[in-house]
Chain A
Amino acid sequence: MLESFAMGFSAIMSPIPITLLVIGVILGILFGASPGITSSMGMAFMLPITYSLSMTYSIALLIGLYIGGVSGGLISAILLNIPGTPASFPTTFDGTPMVRSGKAGKALSYGMICSFLGGMVSFILLFTIAPKLSKMALTFSNVEYFSISLFALVLVASLAGKSLPKGIMSALIGMMFATVGMAPVDGVKRYTFGSNSLVGGFTLISVLIGVYAIIELLKLAEEGHMEKIQVPNFKMKGFDIPLKEAKGQIKNFFLAAGIGSVIGFLPGLGPSVASIMSYTAVKASSKHPEKFGTGIPDGIVASETANNAVIGGALIPLLTMGIPGDAATSILLAGFILHGVTPGPLMFTKQPEVVYAIFVSLIIANIVMLVCEYFAMPFFLKTLKVPKHILLSIVMILCVIGAYGANNRIFDVWMILLFAVVGYTFKKFNVPIAPMMMGFILGPLVERNLLRGLQMSYGKFWPFLTRPVSAAFLLLTVVYIIMIIIQRSKNKKVEVY
Chain B
Amino acid sequence: MENIDIQILDTPLSIDKSYDFVVHKGCGGICLFVGTVRNHNKGETVTHLDFESYKPMAIKELSKIAKACSDYHKAERISIHHRVGHVGLKEKAVIIAVSTPHRTAAFEACQYIIDTLKETVPIWKKEHLEDGSFWVNARP
Co-assembled chains A and B? no
